[in-house]
Structure 1
Amino acid sequence: MKYLLPGSLIILLSACAGDFTFKSNLDSDAINDYFKASDVTVYEGNVQPTGSYEIKGLVEGESCQIATSDVPASIAEARTLARRAAADKQANGIVVKSCLIIDEPTTNCISRAICVGQAIVSTNQLP
């Protein structure tokens, strides 16, 4: 018994000392893609970009409520999708031109929210 306990502890501890690798179902590229909209500054209303900037093109984002049990379309989600589209154009800012909610149901959406803006690359960021 005196030799059985230390021997079994050594065997148990050596089993934990292996060369293990961590595998996850999370994809680092998908995480970076999900958060890339946060790198884009939103300029709208009285807040406009200062200094020089280059226009990369028009971008839009659309939120759609497909079923009555779904969350209603929101301008916040449409703006976020527009920011993601701006990030896809390697922009660091978006000048929101217009956002609107369309409550008239269509064959695809019960309600829709749309935001349109210009994707820009600005050398100056908000203070």
Structure 2
Amino acid sequence: MNRILATLALPLLLASCSNYSFHTNLDKENFTEYFKPGTVTVVDKAELEQLDYQVLGTVEGTSCQEQANQAVPVLGDARTDARRRTADLGGNALVLSQCLELQQTPGCLASITCYGQAMLVREPQQ
């Protein structure tokens, strides 16, 4: 009896779901922006001797705690922000100069800011 009910109910259940629509707030722009830092590699100054590169400019990345009930700033977030800004300049590599942890800066109870050079590293020619 249960098998018969399940056999009859399954097509009805599937048919009732056929008009189901799915909506999301994801769009191509959000997706591209989210993965942008992944296109930038952090390189060490010593590695530059072996690379063909162009300096695009100075960038900085910040992680800021604006209010006491927010999470404390994280070094990784500051580095990711600097990588995102490097990608915005068209770069694919970042050489970090230094990261500073600061307290009571304008707009932030605590912050970490990383400074570096945005680079465009060209692929070696075969």
- Superposition TM-score tier, normalisation by shorter sequence: 0.7 to 0.9
Runs of 4+ in structure 1 off by over 4 angstroms are 18-23, 45-49
Deviation at 1:48, TM superposition (A): 4.8
Partner of 2:29: 29
Distance 1:19-1:106 versus aligned 2 partners, 3 A rule: closer
Match status 1:115 vs 2:114: yes
Q: Which runs of 5+ in 2 are unaligned?
A: 1-11
Question: 1:68–1:119: structure 2 CA closer, same or farther, 3 Å change rule?
Answer: same
Report if aligned partners of 1:74, 1:101 keep a CA contact under 8 Å in 2.
no
d(CA) in 1 for partners of 2:78 and 2:49? 21
CA 116–106 in structure 1, closer or farther in 2 if over 3 Å, else same: closer
Aligned to 1:84: 84
Matches within 5 A, 1:1-127: 23-44=23-44, 48=48, 50-103=50-103, 105-124=104-123
Query: TM-score under structure 2 normalisation?
Result: 0.74
Cα distance in 1 between the residues matched to 2:46 and 2:68: 35
TM-score normalized by the length of structure 1: 0.74
Give the CA RMSD over aligned residues. Answer: 2.8
Greater share of helix residues, 1 or 2?
2
Q: Report how many residues are paired.
A: 117
Deviations 1:43-98 (A, max 9, x none): 24765563210111111111111111111112211110000000001101001011
- State the Cα distance separating 1:19 from its structure 2 match: 9.4
Percent identity reads: 35
Paired with 1:44 and 1:24, the residues of 2 have a C-alpha distance of: 40
Q: Which runs of 5+ in 1 are unaligned?
A: 1-11
Query: Following TM superposition, by how much is the alpha carbon of 1:23 offset from its aligned partner in structure 2, in angstroms?
Result: 4.4
**Is contact 1:86–1:119 with CA below 8 Å preserved after alignment?**
yes
Aligned residue in 2 for 1:7: none
Map of 1:9 onto structure 2: none
